[in-house]
Amino acid sequence: MNIEKFFSALNVSANGMSAQRKRMNAIASNIANAETTRTEDGGPYKRKMVLMHEQANGTFSQMLNGDDFSLGVTNKFHLSGPQGEGGDRSLVNGVNAEETEDKSPFKMIYDPSHPDADDSGYVEMPNVNVVNEMVDMISATRSYEANVTAINAAKTMAKDSLEI
């Protein structure tokens, strides 16, 4: 058993869990501030988003075309890129999660009695939709659980391989 590959699998799943935790924290902040019309920066709360992208030294197709992990294809054009170059499974390290602010416009609500209302009686409300945030929270939770399942599967395979 190649121990580096075992830890690589654990690291990718742990990195995924960390990214989903960051996503859940942003969603929780959005839900908590869904009615916040005044922040320290001035103006209403701006929805936070977590953007994820591959954290790697190479490309996903390079990993798939590597010597120790090859993917059979029915058409040579299915996986573009140099064929037979050989690759390293350690190219893919997981996901990089960056928190950004949503640039969508604020909701305008008519409430002349609100302390933050403008001269015409409209209040800028945060660009947070609680229903969308709950759906995103369920998605993040399921992704987190999938990473936990992958870690448990890797641990079980390692344990079973030691019993051979």
pLDDT of residue 101: 94
92's tokens: 């893919």
Check if the beta carbon of residue 110 is closer than 8 Å to that of residue 29.
no
Residues of the chain where predicted confidence (pLDDT) is lower than 70: 1-2, 56-93
d(CA 148, CA 26): 20
Q: DSSP per residue over 8-21, as a string? A: HHHHHHHHHHHHHH
Structural domain boundaries in the chain: 3-34+48-101+128-162
SS3 105: coil
Tens-place pLDDT, residues 44-57? 999 999 998 877 66
pLDDT of residue 86: 40
| 130-162 and 3-32 helices, crossing angle to 10° | 160
Average pLDDT, the chain: 82
